[in-house]
Structure 1
Amino acid sequence: MWGSRRNRGAKRITCIACGEDVRRSEAREYDKHGDRWERRNKAFEHLCKTCYRDLCHQPRDELEALLVEIQTELGSCSQETFLAHYEKLVEDRYGPLEERER
């Protein structure tokens, strides 16, 4: 039904976070929409296991819309300006950002 997975680990991928080249079996799929189970018409990117563990795995339902809103409001801008605007919008909508200890 799902097809063979025997050759899945033989393929090599490049981690989108650190650029490391690893075997597919040593990586995790990344879906920017947060729904890796819906596979139709998708091309997945990959993260090495170390970078995947470092990700925040909290829901991101409104993230894409927030990023598009900022892009629409600011247009082309510096990374510093973009991040400052992002932080302000997040604090306005969801409260202050707090650094979590690992």
Structure 2
Amino acid sequence: MFGSRSDRETVTCIACGDRLARSDAREYDKHGDRWERRDKAFEYLCKGCFADTSHQPRGDLEATLDDAGAGETDRETFLRRYRELAEENSVERE
């Protein structure tokens, strides 16, 4: 009668910033485990941005971004931390 909650809820695409109905968006889980839903808050991509993303495995990219402070620190600090972590990870793989 009133439609589902996802038809009425509005979300923001994390890639382009467009606001759209949740039912028109695609869920994005930065931790890569979208099937475990308990206590999880998803981010969203519009269909266009979702289609433009690579669906190839990213290894530990998301964990490295989190560890470097992505979205939580200034650009200079983030880039320095990311570079340090990336260098550590490449040495560990050798």
**TM-score, length of structure 1 as denominator length:** 0.61
Q: Structure 1 segments of 4 or more deviating over 4 A?
A: 79-82
Q: 1:77 to 1:29 in 2, by over 3 A?
A: closer
Of residues 22, 34, 45, the one that matches 1:47 is: 45
> Equivalent residue for 1:23?
21
Pairing 1:64-83 to 2, within 5 Å after superposition: 64-67=62-65, 68=67, 78=76, 81-82=79-80
Quote the RMSD (CA, aligned, Å). Answer: 3.2
Q: Give, in whole Å, the separation in 2 of the partners of 1:19 and 1:33.
A: 21
Q: Percent identity at matched positions?
A: 48
Structure 2: gaps of 5 or more residues: none
* Cα distance per residue 1:48-82 (max 9 Å; x no partner): 111111111111231134332x56xxx96628944
Number of paired residues?
84
The answer to whether the aligner puts 1:56 opposite 2:35 as a matched pair is no
The structure number with the bigger radius of gyration is 1
